[in-house]
A and B are shown apart, each in its own frame.
Chain A
Amino acid sequence: MKDGCNGLTRRQWLAGAGVALGAASLGRGQGPASVPPVSIGKYASYDDDLVGRLAKQFDQAGGLGGLVRGKTVTVKLNLTGGGRFPGCTPGQTHWVHPKLVGACCYLFGKAGAKRVRLVEGTYEGESLQDKMLDGGWDVKAIQSAAPLVEFEETNTLGSGKRYSRLRVAKPYIFPAFDLNHTYEDTDVFVNLSKLKQHEECGITLSIKNMFGVAPNSIYGDDAGVDEPNENPRKGREHVLHLGRRQPSKSAPGEVNPASSRYEGHRVPRICVDLSAARPTDLAIVDGIETCVGGEGPWVKGSKHVQPGVVILGKNAVSTDTVATAVMGFDPRAKRGEGPFQVDYKSHPQMPGDPKQADNPMLLAEAAGLGSADLSRIEVAGVSIKDALFDFEKHRKG
């Protein structure tokens, strides 16, 4: 498929874009202004004027018009896992909230997006709309928020005829991924994640949200050995978390199958590889309401909180860096420091497990995907200090 840019195919462009965009963002040898700004907004609740406040934040981050006008915009949501916290809908705690999704769709449409496509993987063969309905979403309202809103379940081939192979310029674990076609067939990729901690990886923001891009048909525990299993029912523990087996042979295997199998080593690197394969054009982190102590209700001790913030920017690494600071953590904390000293409560522990995860922002920075240096990131809107919501304090409290 040609995209009309210098005769490159979209896939070729994507393969180089991760590094090119990252290098531009990182701005080595250039002034701090080359790092895209990150906007922080304060919100009283999901009943706040989401459209008005988000529009202001998008302007602070560089504007939407030039990014989405006349384009297909694909939005990767975070609708991870099942279950609920007592008295809460999933959108209040571990999923992105439907009102925020609706407001984004509306603003993308208003800014001239030709098509908005919402994507996420589901389990048990259900459609994305069914998963949304199960979370109490008003799917029709979201569908009518922009002139054309589509939905695609991406744990399988979905509506595509073939998987798209997206390459990683400087891979840690995988040199390329076979993904649902929507991750290639788009002009703009929006990463809409949740401001959360993670039991095994420390934090869950834009970079970690990319983990859900890998289709279970190829990277799931019951993926086919040779070819994808288009009826997957299991998660990604064996192939991605623990590396006990390789993905379906139809997809590229690991660069070094003898590398560490420890998930605190693997998962952050795989997320960075995926971030390089499918670069993010706009990262939005929903922290109006969320949970502390883990990524969902299945993590013992996790609970519902209301930080009241949305953080967004045009570079996922910088956006995650600011979001991590808003959570009260050092974004440059090294393996085993701060949030990356992980403490399993629900997850089965492996013998000799160091309980330490690597910092995905530093890994992404080293791969040239963006800057994780707060001193080089312009923060617009509310300051980090005024938006600060100390996750550890709330987790312990």
Chain B
Amino acid sequence: MAGRRRKSGRACAIVVLLCCAPAAWPEEEIAEGVAPRVRPLSASDTATATPTSEPWIDSNLWLVRSLTGHSRAPVWLHFRVDGGSGDDYARAIADTAAAGGRWAVELDDGFQADLRSGQSEALAKWGRIVNYLRFFEDHRGWREFVPSGPLGIVYDPAGKYVDISNEYLNLIARRRIPYRVIHRADLGAGALGGLKAVLAIDASPPRTGERALMESFAEAGGLVVTGPGWGKAPAGGEGYEVENSGKGRVAIYREDPPDPETVSRDMLTLIGRANTGIRLFNGPSVLCHVTTGEAGARLLVQLINYATLPAEAVSLRVDGEYKAARVLSPDAPPAELAVELAGGRTQVSLPAFSVYAAVVFEK
């Protein structure tokens, strides 16, 4: 299963470009990820609608974020892209690198054979891989940017239901609600600064200090979403009960732990689509990772398209007024985007992209 750490040292071929290999390789632990893609679910081998009404996307964005701890040591992922196209390999790199991780590039056997025989298509595919790796190394400064969003998710990797906790991170990312992972050990003063909501099911029941912190957060106008361990859980009926607390609210689920799909859907309702800080239009197969740098002067939105068809006519709207926006991609030269300012928000229309695009907004 994705997310379970394991020691490296597989016998299969692992190609790592020297420019991004860790000094301590191969002692470094590698986590097992998934080949990023829109996953076919139906018998006809086409993507079908899921309860989210959108294609099912396999992604490692959440996984890298969950594994990024205090030390901010690089997170390495392992997975194979069997029979992958150039886009598939590019997506594997982008999906891991966007959140600051790195994929231990692993080529399938056929690709390796084609490369050894100097086949032109294989060489072109290899060129694409190198191009993507180089792009993320050229922009390694982005790894220092901090996640931005209205939601904080308290994450306890040593918790009772870690698989469920992982699913909160995975499915809320698929709802395109930008969030900040707060490791439970870091849940102290200042941890909730700048947030509108905190999902704290991993801190249910809360310890004394945690409860006080979250109560203060709610009383100041925030939304706390928690499990029945908080107390006052609904006995029946709706899945959660909302009680007012000062200027804010506390939503308490009945189920322990609540179903991740339900929670991800409810989070959109509880926070409100208008309050997510970012809105991606016409990107059902696109996920994004949102970070800020230079004390908020720059907003970076990285978009990954998981479908085999290019993402076209995608628009992006973010909270805040930015003077300029530029799109960058390993597949195309950088380009300035026309920004539209309205109602304290900035909107841009993106050119079509096959796998990855990054939009840098500047104040």
Bound complex: CA A82 to CA B281 (Å): 13
B273 contacts partner chain A, Cβ-Cβ < 8 Å: yes
Q: Which residues of A contact B48 (CB under 8 A)?
A: 86, 297
Bound complex: CA A82 to CA B282 (Å): 11
Q: Which residues of B contact A125 (CB under 8 A)?
A: 272-274
Q: Can you name the residue of chain A whose Cβ is closest to the Cβ of B268?
A: A124
Q: Mark B307-318, 1 if CB is under 8 A from A, else 0.
A: 001001101000
Of the listed stretches A26-34, A132-140, A266-274, A347-355, chain B binds A132-140
Q: Which residues of A contact B272 (CB under 8 A)?
A: 124-125
B71 contacts partner chain A, Cβ-Cβ < 8 Å: no
A87 contacts partner chain B, Cβ-Cβ < 8 Å: yes
- Most chain B beta carbons < 10 A, residue from A87, A130, A133: A133
Contact at B47–A133, with CB atoms within 8 Å? Answer: no
Q: Which chain B residues numbered 284 to 306 have a C-beta less than 8 Å away from chain A?
A: 284
B49 contacts partner chain A, Cβ-Cβ < 8 Å: yes
**Given A138-B313, A298-B53 in contact, is the A84-B46 Cβ separation under 8 Å?**
no
**Given A81-B53, A82-B54, A298-B49 in contact, is the A130-B281 Cβ separation under 8 Å?**
yes
Q: Which residues of B contact A84 (CB under 8 A)?
A: 49, 54-55, 284
Q: Which chain A residues numbered 293 to 319 have a C-beta less than 8 Å away from chain B?
A: 297-298
Contact at A126–B273, with CB atoms within 8 Å? Answer: yes
- Report the interface size for chain B: residues with CB under 8 A from the other chain: 20
Q: Which residues of A contact B269 (CB under 8 A)?
A: 124, 233
Q: Can you name the residue of chain A whose Cβ is closest to the Cβ of B283?
A: A134
Q: Which residues of B contact A160 (CB under 8 A)?
A: none
A83 contacts partner chain B, Cβ-Cβ < 8 Å: yes
Q: Mark A158-192, 1 if CB is under 8 A from B, else 0.
A: 00000000000000000000000000000000000
Q: Mark A69-100, 1 if CB is under 8 A from B, else 0.
A: 00000000000011110110100000000000
CB distance from A330 to the nearest CB of B (A): 31
8 Å CB contact of A134 from B49, B55, B274, B282: B282
Q: Mark B172-202, 1 if CB is under 8 A from A, else 0.
A: 0000000000000000000000000000000
- Report the interface size for chain A: residues with CB under 8 A from the other chain: 20
Bound complex: CA A124 to CA B269 (Å): 7
Q: Which residues of B contact A126 (CB under 8 A)?
A: 273-274
Bound complex: CA A259 to CA B178 (Å): 47
CB distance from B311 to the nearest CB of A (A): 10
Contact at A133–B49, with CB atoms within 8 Å? Answer: no
Contact at A86–B55, with CB atoms within 8 Å? Answer: yes
B128 contacts partner chain A, Cβ-Cβ < 8 Å: no
Bound complex: CA A134 to CA B315 (Å): 8
Q: Mark B143-179, 1 if CB is under 8 A from A, else 0.
A: 0000000000000000000000000000000000000
Bound complex: CA A87 to CA B38 (Å): 12
Bound complex: CA A83 to CA B47 (Å): 11
Q: Can you name the residue of chain B whose Cβ is closest to the Cβ of A123?
A: B273
B5 contacts partner chain A, Cβ-Cβ < 8 Å: no
Q: Which residues of A contact B315 (CB under 8 A)?
A: 133
Contact at A134–B281, with CB atoms within 8 Å? Answer: yes
Contact at A86–B47, with CB atoms within 8 Å? Answer: yes
Contact at B49–A136, with CB atoms within 8 Å? Answer: no
Q: Can you name the residue of chain A whose Cβ is closest to the Cβ of B51?
A: A298
Q: Which residues of A contact B273 (CB under 8 A)?
A: 124-126
Contact at B46–A133, with CB atoms within 8 Å? Answer: no
Q: Which residues of B contact A297 (CB under 8 A)?
A: 48-49, 53
**Given A125-B273, A138-B313, A233-B269 in contact, is the A83-B54 Cβ separation under 8 Å?**
yes
Bound complex: CA A125 to CA B279 (Å): 13
Q: Which residues of A contact B47 (CB under 8 A)?
A: 86
Q: Mark B30-64, 1 if CB is under 8 A from A, else 0.
A: 00000000000000001111000111000000000
CB distance from A86 to the nearest CB of B (A): 5
Bound complex: CA A135 to CA B282 (Å): 5
Q: Which residues of B contact A86 (CB under 8 A)?
A: 46-48, 55
Bound complex: CA A316 to CA B279 (Å): 37
Q: Which residues of A contact B279 (CB under 8 A)?
A: 130
Contact at B49–A83, with CB atoms within 8 Å? Answer: yes
Q: Can you name the residue of chain B whose Cβ is closest to the Cβ of A126?
A: B273
Contact at A136–B54, with CB atoms within 8 Å? Answer: no
Contact at A83–B53, with CB atoms within 8 Å? Answer: yes
Known: A86-B55, A89-B282, A298-B53. 17 other contacts (CB 8 A): A82-B53, A82-B54, A83-B53, A83-B54, A83-B284, A84-B54, A84-B55, A86-B46, A124-B269, A124-B273, A125-B274, A133-B281, A133-B282, A134-B281, A136-B312, A233-B269, A297-B53
A-B contact pairs, 10 of them (CB 8 A): A83-B53, A86-B46, A86-B47, A86-B55, A125-B272, A125-B274, A126-B273, A126-B274, A130-B279, A298-B49
